[in-house]
Structure formats: C-alpha cells, structure tokens
Amino acid sequence: MRNLAFLLSFAIFFSHQTIANEIIVNDPDWPPYFFKGERYQPIGFAKEVLKQCLPQTGYKARFIYHPIKRMRTYMESGDIDLHIYSYKPSRESFLIYGQEPLFKTSYQPFINKKAPFEIQAIEDFKGLRIGHLQGLKYSKDYYQYIEEQFEKGFVRSVTSNVSLISLLAEEKIDTFVNTVDTVYWLSTTLGVREDILAVEFDIQTKNYFVALSKNSDRIKDKNAFLTKLDSCIKEIKKSGQYQKIKMGYGI
C-alpha cells in the first residue's frame, strides 16, 4: 500500500511539472463546456474560448482533468493554476476572479417524464429519492437540504453526471439537480433525452468566471493575466466569434 501511495503521489507530482511560461488549467468532466480532454469528444465550449484567449496572456496552457474534490484541493494549494468558478465570497480566500463572465448557466431539477409529482419549491423534494454528484454545491439552500436528506437515507451520491442521468432514466432515483446544458447534452448522447425533463424551478442561475489560484507560483502577475484574459473574452463576444462557438454546442 505504501508503494502504491508513493507511486500515485509521484504520478501527480510529475503531471503538474511545467516548462517555462506553461500553466495548468483544469479540464473537468462538464459537457458541453469541457470534456476532460477525451479523444473522440468535442473540445468544449469554454475550453475553445480559453484556447483562443490564453495565448494573449503570454502563457501556454496544459489542460489536465481532475475530479471536483481533487480540483478544489489543488486550486487551494496552487498545483492547478486556473479553473472556472461561480463567485462565492468564501472562495476569495484562495482564488482571484476575473471580471468578465465566461458563460452563464442554470441549475434545475430533473425528473423522469413518467413522474407523478411536481417540483416547485425546495419542500417538494421531501420524500423523493435524490441523486447527488459528489463535490457539487448547488445553491446554499438546496445544498443544506441535501445534507439533511443524506442523514435520512434519501440521497444517492455518485461520481459522474452519466450515472445520475442513467439512474433517473431507469427510475432508480426520482430527481437530481444539475446544469441544464450539461444534462441535455449528455442525455442526448446516451439516447435518453426523451425520458427526462427539466423542471421549471430555478435552483440557481450563475455566471462563471476564470479564476486563478492565489498560491500559483507559475503566474507571476495574476491581475495583469486576468485583465488580458477578460479583454479577450469581451472582444470575441463583441466580434460575434463567441456566439458562433456557442451555437456549435447548441447552447
């Protein structure tokens, strides 16, 4: 076990070693924004925008996939330099945010189309079998509700969005909350798009921004870096290129 732990630590250390002016960018499992660099998958909407704009900062990017919980740890330590975050005051302890939103997305409940119930408020989740993606925080009120339901045995925790969608399509859970664009993209890919439905109850709509780890040693002038990146994002929005990329992902 010690040898295995050592080898794992060594592999993580080696994967985060960079050349001059190279930074580590998280490449999450978050369709249609990112596809964790998998072959035979699209680049991802947000990743395409970043790949256009990052060269203007003077840095090269190495995109590496990390699960949600590990990503958070590495952003706190500075092992990852850049990730896309919604704004929360508590995150300012380890993040520096850009100012121009990279995209906006909504978190809504999803149900099976055969479901005999409706969800119009947090209270309507009572008694339902709820799916939860490990590491996802949603809104403050809904996450607090999820934590309470864990103790009562109503929450099934999984490590991938694909698992959530499959469980819902098979009626093994009653509902879960996630971003609309992500669920519709994946459910279409899985061939179950017609089996599930987004409920018109907005858990939370958020802007997402480029954020840098305060503990990054690779980016020397973080404010200048973000200013250049924000300017590029604004420019491609103004030019129409942003919308063109977005339409390519059906969002």
Domain spans of the chain?
2-103+206-247, 106-204
pLDDT in tens, 165-196: 999 999 999 999 999 999 999 999 999 999 99
At residue 209, the 3 state secondary structure works out as strand
Residue 41: DSSP 8-state? S
Residue 10 has pLDDT above 60, yes or no: no
Cβ neighbours of 17 (radius 10 Å): 9
Residue 202 has pLDDT above 80, yes or no: yes
Across all residues in the chain, what is the average pLDDT?
A: 91
Q: Tokens 């309507």 belong to which residue?
A: 124
Helix, strand, coil fractions of the chain, as percent rounded to 5:
45, 25, 35
pLDDT in tens, 57-94: 999 999 999 988 899 999 999 999 999 999 999 999 99
CA–CA distance, 201 with 73 (Å, rounded to integer): 32
How would residue 135 be classed by pLDDT, with cut points 50, 70 and 90?
A: confident
Cβ neighbours of 45 (radius 10 Å): 26
Q: Which of 15-19, 115-119, 197-201 has the lowest mean pLDDT?
A: 15-19
Angle subtended at Cα 48 by Cα 43 and Cα 49, rounded to the nearest 5 degrees: 160
What pLDDT is attached to residue 104? 95
Alpha helix positions (H), the chain: 2-15, 45-53, 68-77, 140-152, 161-169, 180-190, 222-239, 241-247
CA–CA distance, 103 with 84 (Å, rounded to integer): 10
**Cis status of the peptide bond prior to 89, with omega within 30 of 0:** no
What pLDDT is attached to residue 1? 52
Residue 136 has pLDDT above 90, yes or no: no
What pLDDT is attached to residue 47? 98
At residue 210, what is the residue type?
V
CA–CA distance, 223 with 130 (Å, rounded to integer): 41
Residue 56 has pLDDT above 60, yes or no: yes
CATH topology match: 2-103+206-247 vs 106-204: yes
Residue 131 has pLDDT above 80, yes or no: yes
Provide the CATH topology of domain 2-103+206-247. D-Maltodextrin-Binding Protein; domain 2 (3.40.190)
Residue 159: DSSP 8-state? S
Q: What is the mean pLDDT of residues 37-62?
A: 95
Of the options 3.40.50.1980, 3.40.190.10, 3.40.710.10, 3.10.580.10, the CATH number for the domain spanning 106-204: 3.40.190.10
Q: How far is CA 22 from CA 14, 57, 102, in A?
A: 14, 11, 21
CA–CA distance, 78 with 71 (Å, rounded to integer): 10
Cβ neighbours of 189 (radius 10 Å): 13
Q: What is the mean pLDDT of residues 95-123?
A: 96
Q: Please name every residue paired with 197 in a beta bridge, in sequence order, or none if there are none.
A: 111
CA–CA distance, 242 with 158 (Å, rounded to integer): 33
Residue 2 has pLDDT above 50, yes or no: no
What pLDDT is attached to residue 20? 55
Cα dihedral 11/16/17/21 (nearest 10)? 160
